[in-house]
Structure 1
């Protein structure tokens, strides 16, 4: 009963009519109380995603003068919210370097490392400037100098050296508490009228809301944002590049509980097909079943974010039956069997749609039989395969391989030396594969 009620609750909050009604009520209340439109921006000095976001926010602020942007010097929540902090820091640096290169954003172009020796002094300086009217401009300049690896630039911003200020720690704690009270856990985030947006990847959703309200003072797209969206367009080769035949298989690490993995599934198959690559899907148990906790606020953000991504990708989504526990284990066991029958693609797509678009409980025989029928699998044989345990060693080996690659979340993609995490990096994955072919055949258009 609890599972069904949770599924119903998720279905309601993800319904487009509910979202539209909630937005209308929030806007009505804002007008009734004569309040400004406010975007709360939480940025972290030593977070490269915060820097990339700030680079584009500078242009957004200029265009949308009717919106007040309040910047907060903050730090992401730790503990259960950041299960692998060391791995995340390493991956974030590599990911942002790749993104900056694709976007044409200066990143570690003055020095090879961020100006870490000035980190504390810069934090104290920003803490003192936090309540000034031009704090957003100051913060953006500080992030730029820090992440371009420009110690001289940072020194000019900071001025004379001084002892550490205890007030800075208090401010960071207060802003972190505000971040948590408002319902999020991560920096490089923006909150507007009840909804959250993370990084440059979700900035376009916020801009779309502004444009729908007629807030763009120039009544035309912002060039920098238009080029950002153009850079993140996923494009496929017209013909299969000859050199792609010599590439290793494309590996996709997948969890049957992850909505992001489900959203990436069909697109990943399309990429593999376009390049003529073999796609090897390697399932792992959900993070919670691997000893990595996922707090409820994080889950709530993920499901809401996945919902708008599903709409953008035109993937069925919204009626969700959580497969945590027995459901996830049965799916891996069933997939292990489906591979032996040559029906892995059909099973993955059928299981994903059942779990995330139809709220079918795959922990039950009734639910799994529906998936089997849609996959072209003989239910009695699949039911027998569910009792076997061979899949456990396979799933564990997949987990170890994922960790060895410096990753822990799904969906993750490996091909050769390229390791990419996230369903919204499909465009980057396709571009990296094209670079590996690099002979000009099958040009992406």
Structure 2
């Protein structure tokens, strides 16, 4: 029997990106379905989060995610531009957020098609692997989507025509994420048990093997 696990994912989260290579390997190696469910990052989900958190939070995340990438040999650089429009000095998050709304709604559309992991893996690499400047410009995203079997222009048009439908998907994802027992991303949820972080995948596999997970 094919087991299933939810993966709550944010396009701004470095650790969400860093979880993708091992997640893809899991699907390749095991009889497992990963239901990637995009959510908005904390900057949008929790207004004022960065103003209330410890000032050491952001510098540590930058340091730690970079060394995790080096340790795992994952191409890595923080996206240019940041998917969240935010003042780096005041940490004020802008009211208008064109990048993250577009990315997350596109991810929701791929989720409805049952192919969110494939879509997100292709798109996230453009943002995070350092191979392009201005990931939001030109045809960088369109080419990545096409390689994964998606027509980005058609997806953008569909989302623009009915954004509320995809917001409803995201809202449902965020509700289930909150109910899972954790608030951060990436969070894997298997049999109602949350596993937070790209460094909990081994523990997740151990748990799933106890419930019958088999290699392909």
Which interval holds the TM-score relative to the shorter structure?
A: 0.7 to 0.9
Tell me which residue corresponds to 2:205.
Answer: 430
Greater Rg, structure 1 or structure 2?
1
Tell me which residue corresponds to 1:357.
Answer: 129
Give the 5 Å matches for 1:6-45. none
Label 1:346 to 1:403 Cα distance change in 2 as closer, same or farther (>3 A): closer
**1:260 and 1:410 in contact (8 A); partners too:** yes
TM-score, normalised by the number of residues in structure 2:
0.79
Q: Among 298, 317, 331, which residue is 2:57 paired with?
A: 298
d(CA) in 2 for partners of 1:360, 1:314: 21
1:327 aligns with 2:99: yes
d(CA) in 1 for partners of 2:182, 2:135: 27
Label 1:341 to 1:297 Cα distance change in 2 as closer, same or farther (>3 A): same
**1:362 and 1:368 in contact (8 A); partners too:** yes
Tell me which residue corresponds to 1:287.
Answer: 42
Tell me which residue corresponds to 2:8.
Answer: 253
Q: Among 185, 191, 199, which residue is 1:416 paired with?
A: 191
Tell me which residue corresponds to 1:268.
Answer: 23
Deviation at 1:405, TM superposition (A): 1.4
Range 395-404 or range 264-273, more displaced: 264-273
Label 1:432 to 1:381 Cα distance change in 2 as closer, same or farther (>3 A): same
Greater relative CO (CA pairs within 8 A, separation 6+): 2
Deviation at 1:269, TM superposition (A): 2.6
**1:253 and 1:283 in contact (8 A); partners too:** yes
d(CA) in 2 for partners of 1:360, 1:339: 27
Tell me which residue corresponds to 2:89.
Answer: none
Deviation at 1:284, TM superposition (A): 0.4
Give the 5 Å matches for 1:382-393. 382-387=155-160, 388-389=162-163, 390-393=165-168
d(CA) in 2 for partners of 1:371, 1:259: 19
Deviation at 1:258, TM superposition (A): 0.2
d(CA) in 1 for partners of 2:155, 2:192: 36
d(CA) in 2 for partners of 1:400, 1:269: 25
Greater helix percent: which structure? 1
**1:343 and 1:377 in contact (8 A); partners too:** no
**2:2 and 2:33 in contact (8 A); partners too:** no
d(CA) in 1 for partners of 2:209, 2:29: 11
Label 1:435 to 1:282 Cα distance change in 2 as closer, same or farther (>3 A): same
Number of equivalent positions: 195
Q: List gaps (5 residues or longer) in structure 1.
A: 1-244
Q: List gaps (5 residues or longer) in structure 2.
A: 85-96
d(CA) in 2 for partners of 1:246, 1:354: 31
Deviation at 1:357, TM superposition (A): 1.6
d(CA) in 2 for partners of 1:281, 1:432: 19
d(CA) in 1 for partners of 2:172, 2:56: 30
